[in-house]
């Protein structure tokens, strides 16, 4: 590809939601940058603190990448501000995963908003293996004709 979206198709909208560890966030952001450099729209989903700690996007790509903040639910025993695995003591990883699972409903609401009239319907949803609930959310919206189907 020459850096722009294929001439015979409109740009895609890709949702990227990596696991809350910088070894996942940074490669996910690189994927977002590469997709945006090819003219596609990207919604990069994470928690507010993690998004704030990411390196800035190049100004030319920033308009094509939406940083979507989903606040991590508060879980008793999890330190305040523990949004990345870097912030969590080893013995609290289970609590961190439990808090992460609390993002299922906000993520579904994000997809619903993207599917609403005037929204930017996603073509692809890219998640890590920790997001056991994300595939069902995307599949439900695909069945409702929300997520666009593309043939190539």
Instruction: Report how far apart the first and last C-alpha atoms of the chain are (Å, whole number).
Output: 14
Rg of the Cα atoms in the chain: 16
Are the CB atoms for 5 and 39 separated by under 8 Å?
A: yes
Rounded to the nearest 10 degrees, how much is the dihedral formed by the CA atoms of 68, 13, 42, 100? 40
What residues are annotated to the active site?
Answer: 24, 128
Distant-in-sequence, close-in-space partners of 38: CB < 8 Å, separation ≥ 6: 1, 3, 4, 5
Strands 65-69 and 124-127: unpaired
């Amino acid at each position: 590809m020459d850096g722009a979206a294929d001439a015979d198709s409109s740009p895609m909208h890709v949702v990227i939601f990596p696991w809350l560890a910088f070894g996942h966030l940074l490669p996910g952001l690189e994927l977002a940058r590469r997709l945006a450099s090819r003219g596609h729209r990207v919604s990069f989903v994470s928690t507010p603190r993690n998004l704030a700690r990411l390196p800035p996007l190049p100004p030319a790509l920033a308009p094509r990448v939406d940083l979507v903040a989903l606040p991590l639910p508060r879980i008793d025993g999890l330190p305040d501000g523990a949004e990345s695995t870097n912030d969590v003591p080893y013995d609290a990883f289970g609590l961190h995963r439990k808090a992460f699972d609390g993002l299922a409903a906000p993520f579904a609401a994000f997809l619903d908003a993207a599917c609403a009239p005037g929204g930017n319907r996603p073509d692809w949803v890219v998640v890590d293996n920790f997001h056991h609930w994300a595939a069902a959310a995307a599949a439900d919206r695909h069945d409702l004709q929300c997520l666009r189907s593309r043939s190539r």
